[in-house]
Every structure is written in C-alpha cells, then in structure tokens.
A and B are shown apart, each in its own frame.
Chain A
Amino acid sequence: MSRNTSNGSEALSSDPAGAKRDKPVRHRQSVLRTLAPYLFVAPAFSIVFIFVIVAALNTFRLAFTDSTLLVPGKFIGFQNFVDIFHDEYFWTALLNSTLYVVCVVPFMVILPLILASLVRGNSKIMGFFRTSFYTPVVMSAVVVGMIWTNLLDSKGLINSLLEGMHLIKQPIPFLTDRWMILFSAMFVTIWLGLGYYMVIYLTALANIDDSLYEAASLDGAGPVRKFVSITMPGVRSTIVLIMMLSTIAAFRVFNEIYVLTNGTAGPGGQDITMSMMIQQEGTGIQAHTGYASALSLIVLVIVGFMLIVQQIFQSRSEN
C-alpha cells in the first residue's frame, strides 16, 4: 500500500513540464483518493475481524457442539447449556462473580470519588498524592497478588500486626478459608482500582464550577454537605459510567483469585469465578472447547445485558 501511494506522490511531484502526463496523473490521483480510505483501514479491520468478530461467531457455533481440543465435535443443540445448568461449579462461579460485583462496585463508585475530591487542586503536594495514588494502576495483578499473598499469609504482616496489637489470638485465614479468599481478592481489586477510577472522576470534577462551592461556603455548608449536594450531582453521569465499568470488570474477575489461590480456585475449587471456569474448561490437552464456549456465551449475554441496563440509566441521568 505504501508503495502505491508513494508512486502517486512521485508522479505528482515530478516536473510539471511533462504536460502530456498530466491526464494519467490526475486519473491515478482520483483512483488513489477512492482507494485510500480502504487501504488505511485494512490492517485494523483485519485484526478486529479475525480476532473479535470471527472469534465471537466461532464461540457461538462451538457452544452448540461437543467439540474438544482434539475432536471437532458435532452439533448437539442446547445440551451444553443443560449440562451447565446442572453443573454445581457453574452455580458456585455465578454466585462468586455476582458476589464480587455486589461487594466491589459500591466501594469502586464511592471511594475514588471521595479521594478525587480530596486531591483536587494545583498544589505540588496534591499532584504528589494524585501520582502516588495512581501508580498501582500500572502494576500487573499478578505481581500485586504476589505482594498481597505475602501480606495476607497466616504468618504475614497483617496477621502479625494484629497479633502484635493483641487484637486477635488466632491468625485470620485470609488465604485458606473459602469466604476469606473471596474477600481478600475483592480487597486487592479495590486496592488496584482506586487510582484508576479516581482519575476518571478528576476529569469530571474539573467540569464543576468552583463558584458553586464558594456559594455553598458562604451559606455555611460543610464539606460533607458540599460533597452530597454539589459534587455527587455534578458527576452523576460519571458515577453511572464507573458503576458499569466496575460492574463488568468485577463480574469478569480472574487474575486476583487465580494468583491468591495459586490457580486452584481455593479449597475444593469453591472460589471459582466465571472467567476461571472458562479458563479451566477451555484449556489444556483435555479442553472441552464446546462446553467452555457455551460458558463464554453466557458471559457474553450477561455482560451485554449489563450494558443495556447501563444505556438506560445513562440516558435517564442525562435527562
């Protein structure tokens, strides 16, 4: 493609004395004009087409087959879905992923907003706080998971601090109890996400008129009052956006639980999530690609449903 266009440019910049060549040059130019957009968009389109569109259609097809990694499989109708609904792991995964949403999202919506309204301003010290709060965002969940595995270990920092303060006698089983693992992973997710959502809120807060706060101060409103009656309404559509972003992210949780449980999904696999189940069923030499694709399709439908709900809320909050 670049060869074509550079030819075109050569023709164009060649000496204007060649009046006879003027016509083909024009023609070539107009063909290029017509083709250019398609050539420009072709590489991006190829990648998205193969790895998203074709892949999604293939997921849809496989979901109705009994294919495995080594055997293409045949059409079996809704059998995979029947099996899934009889699979107790599926219900555990759905419960865990849903609990993740219910517990994580409120924190993700409120804490970063409080943080953002506390670190506003142009002073150097606030810039320092903003940067340090954002830093964990660039770290991988795997490495952060390693760090928290150390901290939450039965003999780790958190337990020894609590024991040192005589708050507990027995170590808290953060990484060995079915429920504590889930809560520990939620904590790591919130810890990792605070800075990211804080920055999104900061851009929304920048649009709130400062005179509103000044007027409220004159009326004797305290910080809490200002937060509730100026900040929160001012960023309403961002709240809806973050609610949705964090809901979808929480529902798809994988890394945190995988790392905290060393890939085992906890005692007896009780901490499995939807994404972990897809990974477990769909990989390895024994992979049930058909079954895993049916699980993928269920995740697609649930996430799609969440997005529709978000669109409805978004248009309401804008009215």
Chain B
Amino acid sequence: MGSSRKHVTVGKIVQYAILVLVFILLVGPFVWELSLSLKGPGDNVYAVPPYIVPKTPTMENYAQVFRQVPVFHYMWNTILVAVMSIAGNVLFSTMAGYALGRLEWRGRKFLFLLFMGTMVIPIEGVIISQFLIMRAVNLQNTLIAVALPGMCGAINILLMTNAFKAIPKELEEAAEVDGANVWQQFIHVCIPEVKGTMTVVGIFAFVGSWNDFLWPLIVISDEKNYTLTLGMNRLKGMFVSDPRLIAAGALVSLIPILVFFACFQRYFFQGLEQGGIKE
C-alpha cells in the first residue's frame, strides 16, 4: 500500500486487524478439529462455552478411524489415480504443447482452438456420457476409469503451448544447424526450458485427482476401489454421531495434501500466475 509515514499507524492497525481476523477464520476451524480429535471420553465436546485444550487427551479417535475405515488402502488407491493423472497430464500436454507451440503443420490452429473450446464444457455436461463410455468398454468401477478422462486437461495444453512458444527461436535453430532432429530438439533443447511449467502441470494434476469427488462417486461402486474422498464421505456417514471421529478422519486425510503443499508452495503461486493472467 502507500508508503506515507503519517498514515502508517491507523492504516496499519486496521490492515493487520483484518488480516489476523481472516487468519483466525481460516485457520481456527483446523485448530478446533485438532482439539476435537484429541478429546477423550472425559471431555464434553458440546460444552458451552467451548474449550480448546482436551481434559483427557487421547489418540484413541485416530486408532478407531484406522480400525473402522481402511484409510491407507483408500490413500493407496488415490495415489495410484494421482500417479496416472500426473503422468498423463505431464507427458501428453507437454507433447501436445510442443507440437502446438513449436512446430509448423497443417491443422495446428484448428486443433488449438478445438482444445481451447473444450475448456468451456462443464464436467456436468459430459459426466453421464463419460460413465456410459467407461461402461461400454467395461472399465466402470476401476481406478483407471477414475484417472482416464482427466489425463489431459485442456488448461494444461494451453499452459504448455505458451511455455514452448516463449522459448527463443535461436536455441532451436542452433540445434538444427548441429543436425538435431525433431525428437532430439524436443528432448535436449526444449524440455529443459519448460521444466518449471511441467512441474506446475504435475502439481495441479495431483491436487485435482486427490480432491476429485463427483467423478469417482459416479464411476466407482465397489468399496475396495474407493478413493480417499469417497472413503471420507462414507466415514462421515458412519460416524455422524461422534464429531471426534469425523475430526480425526478429516485431519488424517488432510495431512498428505498439506505436506505436499508445503513442499511445492512456490509452484502453486507460479502456476496460478501463469494460468490466472492468461484466463
């Protein structure tokens, strides 16, 4: 904001007051859930007024969540889906981005517009048809079916195309003079230049598949193929009467994604900047 020192005091106080308030509003729920998840049978979780520090702290709620719901199995399923989704999105959108952003060929403009056009189609418009396609090829109720339709997002093709376009022409021309073919130019000259964007694509593919709910809900019917969000939804139905267990389950399923976010934070902001401005 402005740098005039005269207004610093009042302006800053209001600014920080708002920021702290929003912070409490966003972080408070997690603190409360953590407290709930650690409260034992001796605690009144419905106390008025409520209190934060558990009187009879216990890990029993977590133990019970793991006993009642195969959390690790669901996480493993989710990881399998995420790996397929990351591999597909990074590989396919990088290849497509290279062809669209770097090579001259007939039909390039048309195909680019086609890809961009598909971005406006909401998932609800095609989701039942997608399910029928999966059923026709007998893939319904498999983890492959969960990953497949999301394996090459149009937004990722756009991001990669823009990244390839930004590489200076001279780099490639030099390689061509040296006798490199298309494949060699792609691998040795262009890929190193777009690694950052590839990471962004991979990260968003991970978060997207980790959190996806509607599509797995439609395509998966067998509990042994549940992803984590489906498992948590079921857990919520099972433990509806005990907030301690819901809190423990919620936190358990949040930990992996939060660790992931902490590790790759920089790329999240980079990705939004690239995607955000470009619409």
Binding site for B on A (CB under 8 A): 2, 5-6, 8-9, 12, 29, 32-34, 36-38, 40-41, 43-45, 47-48, 50-56, 58-59, 62, 69, 114-115, 117-121, 129-143, 145-151, 153, 155-157, 160-161, 163-165, 191, 194-196, 199-200, 203-204, 213-214, 216-218, 222-223, 226, 241, 248, 252, 254-255, 258-259, 262-263, 274-275, 278-279, 282-283, 287, 289, 292-293, 296-297, 299-300, 303-304, 307
Contact = CB atoms under 8 A, between A and B. Distances in A.
B183 A9 contact: yes
B236 interface: yes
Interface in B98-122: 98-100, 103-105, 108, 111, 114-115, 118, 120-122
B70 to A, nearest CB: 17
A120 B179 CA distance: 49
A130 B247 CA distance: 26
Pick the 3 closest A-B CB pairs, nearest first: A164-B49, A140-B211, A44-B96
Nearest to B203: A138
Interface stretch (B54-62, B165-173, B192-200, B258-266): B258-266
A58 B130 CA distance: 9
A56 B121 contact: yes
B19 interface: yes
B64 interface: no
B183 A296 contact: no
A115 B152 contact: no
Contact of B96 (A41, A114, A252): A41
Contacts, number: 295
Given A129-B19, A142-B233, A149-B246, A47 B133 contact: no
A241 B212 CA distance: 24
Contacts of A129: 19, 23
Interface residues of B, number: 102
Interface centre among A41, A279, A303 (most CB of B within 10 A): A41
Nearest to B243: A150
Nearest to B235: A146
Contacts of A136: 26
A150 B247 contact: yes
Nearest to A223: B11
B232 A143 contact: yes
A47 to B, nearest CB: 4
B124 A157 contact: no
B79 to A, nearest CB: 15
A296 B181 contact: no
Contacts of B46: 155, 160
Contact of B183 (A8, A151, A287): A8
A300 B261 CA distance: 33
